[in-house]
Amino acid sequence: MTRDLSFAAVTARKNEIMKVALGMDFQQLIYSPISFDYERMMRETGYSLEEIARIQDETKVGNTPLFELKNLTELVRKISTPGKGARIFLKDEAANASGSFKARRASISAFEAKKRGYKGMVAATSGNYGAAVASQAAQRGLKCIIIQEVFDSKGIGQPEIIEKGRKCEAFGAEVQKLSVGPELFYWLLLTLEETGFFNASLYTPFGIRGIETLGTEIAAQVRSKCSKDPDAVVITHAGGGNLTGTARGLLAAGCNNTRVVACSVDLAGLHMASDRDFNRKSFTTGHTGFGVPFATWPDRVDVPRNAARSLRYMDEYQLVSQGEVFYVTELLTKLEGIERGPAGNTSLTAAVTLARQMDRDQVVVVQETEYTGAGKHHNSQLAFAKSMGIEVRRGDPKDNQPGVRIVIPEKVSQVLGKPQDMDKLRISYLKNAAKILPSIQWSERDFSFLASDLKKSQDWIKSAIRENEI
């Protein structure tokens, strides 16, 4: 019998396809449309942190350096009130084999795929993760297919995305290049079904467990250099895996009092699936177009349950503008002699603001960097923005307007960012949950799960339901 390859039919076979492509039966973990056994899912990867570190060492991942940004710290102290200006440290994840922290999450997926006898891996991504999967697949002798959203309807692709595709191909991957739209998930499912390859999804427990070593390394390195735990770790937030994995690693290392601070580029007003808006944003990841939707409903992904659940671990959420990130990218280069990609400097931008509020003897860690060059360089991104009719100028970043105007600060004191209302995100999460299952039908187990997922008490959740008529 010929398989039905229509969009509706392939999507309807999602659970069957994913079970074959992951070797995991999520149904054994699910209690209701709302709740599931999250910790059991993470444990069933079967790896200890020590085993993960060993696996990563085999393929040039992990043990990346931690640098103190002394010159940037001194500049921040000059504009801070007396006694303020925390020490800023940078975890240089560009040292991983593929040039970003995502090599950590790809490393465990590649090892698992090889161990289970899969012939190859598939990943749907426009970002650094594709290069990470391709790099790890090459080292494990696996085939690799990357499905990538590249173009708008006019065939125009962002230079950053094109560069990432080039890097995937350099590692030997086949890159399927699509235009923006709902076809990405369809092509992922279809490719998995046709090839029988492993689903190297960003959101499996294998991928999140791989990032945990980033948290344990930060804990050990800060203790070695400063004889204390980090006071705050700032993490660029998009789909939530970066924050979830790093925070779990910090907790595993005993950093129970370390503030976990998320940071995203504020792209409010732009729709990520819009053909018009696709090329009017200068950041393809680490922005609110991913950060907010994934925080407010993690399970909008290609697996039955998402292992990346940022609100479980997030203490604060900072937003920064595109211009602020481009400015701090220049500061890093000019003051510290390190040239890194702008998207990886999102969290550094928030750290500049946080350091001004923290005491001088405190430590704030910027959790990752990414490689730069070609289309990923900030000059290429700004030139592309201008070609799309976006104004680029110096001035007060408060005048920034996503898709219309990028305003680059004139001085470091203008790098301020702004906090995101986390309770507002939590209420949005509850509203999304109620769309899946009406709140009147939630069980005690559901309330317990939601309390863990939102880092709040059950009483807070019940109060929020009443007050917001959810």
Do 134 and 227 sit in the same domain of this protein? no
Residue type for 454, please? L
Domain of 271: which CATH number? 3.40.50.1100
* Cα gap 229→249, rounded to integer Å: 13
Do 78 and 119 sit in the same domain of this protein? no
Instruction: Give the pLDDT score at 90.
Output: 98
User: Which of the listed residues 203, 219, 254 is the one where a domain comes to its end?
Assistant: 203
Do 58 and 78 sit in the same domain of this protein? yes
Q: Is 388 helix (H, G, I), strand (E, B) or coil?
A: coil
* Cα gap 347→202, rounded to integer Å: 20
Closest CA to 163 of 126, 111, 121, 208: 126
Do 117 and 93 sit in the same domain of this protein? no
Do 384 and 274 sit in the same domain of this protein? yes
Q: Which domain holds residue 124?
A: 7-16+100-203
Alpha helices in 259-389 (DSSP H): 288-296, 322-336, 346-357, 378-387
Predicted TM-score (pTM) of this structure: 0.95
Residue 28 lies in a domain: no
Q: How confident is the model at residue 185 (pLDDT cuts 50, 70, 90)?
A: confident
Do 68 and 186 sit in the same domain of this protein? no
Using the Cα atoms of residue 46, residue 313, residue 25 and residue 176 in order, give the sign of their dihedral. Answer: negative
Residue 431 lies in a domain: no
Q: How confident is the model at residue 1 (pLDDT cuts 50, 70, 90)?
A: low
pLDDT tens-digit profile of 18-63? 889 988 888 889 999 999 999 999 999 999 999 999 999 999 999 9
Instruction: Give the pLDDT score at 368.
Output: 95
> CB of 244 within 8 A of CB of 235?
no
DSSP letter string, 173-209: -EEEEEESSTHHHHHHHHHHHHH--EE--TTSHHHHH
* Cα gap 86→73, rounded to integer Å: 7
Residue 70 lies in a domain: yes
What average pLDDT does this structure show over 259-276?
90
User: Which of the listed residues 148, 171, 203 is the one where a domain comes to its end?
Assistant: 203
Do 235 and 325 sit in the same domain of this protein? yes
pLDDT tens-digit profile of 310-325? 999 999 999 999 999 9
Alpha helices in 97-148 (DSSP H): 102-116, 128-140
Query: How many angstroms separate the Cα of 76 from the Cα of each of 18, 228, 356, 411, 451?
Result: 48, 22, 6, 11, 38
Residue 2 lies in a domain: no
What average pLDDT does this structure show over 264-287?
86
Mean per-residue pLDDT over the chain, rounded: 94
Q: Look at residue 172 and tell me whether its pLDDT is greater than 90.
A: yes
Instruction: Give the pLDDT score at 182.
Output: 72
Number of domains in the chain: 3
Q: Is 234 helix (H, G, I), strand (E, B) or coil?
A: strand
Please, which residues have CB within 8 angstroms of residue 74's CB and are 6 or more apart in sequence?
Answer: none
Q: How confident is the model at residue 294 (pLDDT cuts 50, 70, 90)?
A: very high
Q: Look at residue 434 and tell me whether its pLDDT is greater than 80.
A: yes
Do 397 and 249 sit in the same domain of this protein? yes
* Cα gap 27→15, rounded to integer Å: 9
* Cα gap 440→470, rounded to integer Å: 9
- The whole-angstrom distance between residue 48's C-alpha and the CA centroid of its chain comes to 23
When comparing pLDDT for 183 and 362, which is higher? 362
Give the Cα-Cα-Cα angle 367, 373, 374 (nearest 5 degrees). 140
Q: Percent of the chain scored above 70 by pLDDT?
A: 100
Residue 429 lies in a domain: no
| Pairing assessment for the beta strands 174-179 and 198-199 based on DSSP bridges | unpaired
pLDDT tens-digit profile of 111-125? 999 999 999 999 998
Do 111 and 154 sit in the same domain of this protein? yes
Do 78 and 192 sit in the same domain of this protein? no
Do 347 and 376 sit in the same domain of this protein? yes
Residue 239 lies in a domain: yes
Residue 34 lies in a domain: no
Do 115 and 83 sit in the same domain of this protein? no
Say how many CA atoms lie within 13 Å of 208 toward its Cβ: 24
pLDDT tens-digit profile of 215-242? 999 999 999 999 999 999 999 999 999 9
Residue 266 lies in a domain: yes
